[in-house]
Amino acid sequence: MKKFKIVVKTFAGLESVLANELRALGAESVTAERRAVSFTGDKAMLYKANFLLRTALKVLMPIAQFRVNKKEDLYDHAKNIPWAEYLTLGKTFAIESTVQSELFVNSMYASLKVKDAIADYFRESTGKRPSVNPEDPDMVVHIYLMGDYCEVSLDSSGESLHKRGYRMGQGEAPVNEVLAAGMIMLAGWNGQSDFLDPMCGSGTLLIEAAMIARGIPAGIYRKSFGFEKWLDFDQELFSEIYNADYEKESAVRIFGSDISVQSCAIARANIKNAGLSKYVEVETKDFLELDPPFENGIIVTNPPYGERLKLRSVTDLYKAVGDVLKHKYSGYSAWIISSSEDGFKNIGLKPSRKIELFNGAIPCSFRCFELFSGTYKQKAILRKANQDPDQNIEVAREI
């Protein structure tokens, strides 16, 4: 099968996990870029990337690259693209642009120029043009114009891949599905230990964890992908990929709790919709009163950041969470994402890792707290005994 360049978009901070996912799929020439990873692959890889990648937002297929030194260059080069290979008169299209250029102060104008180029390309050869449909297009053309460099791509995903298709409802500030999967993967969890989210809200982290543990494809609940409307869509190839055997048995426990009765109801509805009720438990409980559901495991959680709470209550909450972690959760690793530096200070534990991420537009830190048991002295001896020269994990303060 013919190979070509494919670009997968993701969130800032998730490029490395996305690159790992791609390598695991067998992608070649995997290169991490800013909020994207590019690779070389064939049509099967394009379909697999859409169906299987957990940290992908969009999978783009570049069809032209050129320089734009003056305004007219965009229209002229765009009109030279052999559009008839991708579009017919009966199909509709839409244009999305990411533009940072002195020549085009707004992306709408760049979109308009490319739309005109496509319309004129067809009008000149057939007298007619395909229609634009911004709501539900058959084909989305993506323009990336950075300085004088322009890349025109076809969007093979359609709706953003974070729209997995399992969400029935959302509670207070749900985390994006792609970010949730990325956090779990950055934490290095792939189903090898029990998993807890004690502030689970609508259950996104629990569902993504269950899908990872059981090998359930990220796109299994989606109704469609953009490439299914492409002229060269290979139904047989996609059916083969869709119906392959991905799922695996898993004995790990996945447990979520939340102080809000309503959030727990939403989480249960989402979990049920994903067909995962058998594998994920949810209990309404204040984390400060929860008894650890297992002896040790991993906590990945997204507590309130305090945007809507008074500063005082955030510091109190994080301090109480830190105390509970210290006293009840020895043996666990706890990964917490938050934008609240004050909150982190009040946890009173030293993180072993800090990763910068964005939750939507909010800059956040994703921190790991290793909750060892024993005294600091014992832990220092233990560390020494391990004789690991790369051991740079800082032990939690006193427990």
Ligand X SMILES: C[S@@+](CC[C@H](N)C(=O)[O-])C[C@H]1O[C@@H](n2cnc3c(N)ncnc32)[C@H](O)[C@@H]1O
User: Which residues lie near ligand X (CB under 6 A)?
Assistant: 171-175, 198-199, 201-202, 204-205, 258-260, 263, 286-288, 302-304
CB nearer to ligand X: pick between 242 and 358: 358
Residues with Cβ within 8 Å of residue 378, at least 6 apart in sequence:
none
Where residue 10 falls (left for φ over 0; alpha for ψ -120 to 50; beta otherwise) is beta
- What SS3 class is residue 151? strand
Q: What are residue 366's DSSP bridge partners? A: 337, 355
From CA 320, how far away is CA 280, in angstroms rounded? 26
CB nearer to ligand X: pick between 12 and 362: 362
Q: How far is the CB of 177 from ligand X (least distance, A)?
A: 8
Q: How far is the CB of 257 from ligand X (least distance, A)?
A: 6
Burial class (CB in 10 A: 0-12, 13-18, 19+), 294: middle
Q: How far is the CB of 318 from ligand X (least distance, A)?
A: 10
Contacts 24+ apart (CB under 8 A), 322-326: 322/346, 322/347, 322/348, 322/349, 323/348, 324/287, 324/288, 324/290, 325/299, 325/349, 325/369, 325/371, 326/371, 326/396, 326/397, 326/398, 326/399
Q: How far is the CB of 359 from ligand X (least distance, A)?
A: 9
C-beta nearest to ligand X: residue? 201
Q: How far is the CB of 160 from ligand X (least distance, A)?
A: 16
Query: Parallel, antiparallel, or unpaired: how do β-strands 362-370 and 333-338 relate?
Result: antiparallel
The closest alpha carbon to 367, from 377, 379, 355, belongs to 355
CB nearer to ligand X: pick between 111 and 202: 202
Angle between helices 261-273 and 204-214 (to 10 degrees): 30
CB nearer to ligand X: pick between 313 and 375: 313
Q: How far is the CB of 283 from ligand X (least distance, A)?
A: 10
Cβ atoms of 180 and 14 closer than 8 Å: no
Helix (H) / strand (E) element for 30: namely strand 28-33
Q: How far is the CB of 221 from ligand X (least distance, A)?
A: 16
CB nearer to ligand X: pick between 169 and 215: 169
Helix (H) / strand (E) element for 37: namely strand 36-41
CB nearer to ligand X: pick between 139 and 199: 199
Helix (H) / strand (E) element for 31: namely strand 28-33
- Alpha-helical regions (H) of 244-310: 261-273
CB nearer to ligand X: pick between 10 and 340: 340
Q: How far is the CB of 251 from ligand X (least distance, A)?
A: 25
Q: Which amino acid makes up residue 123? A: R
Q: How far is the CB of 191 from ligand X (least distance, A)?
A: 19
CB nearer to ligand X: pick between 97 and 204: 204
CB nearer to ligand X: pick between 72 and 283: 283
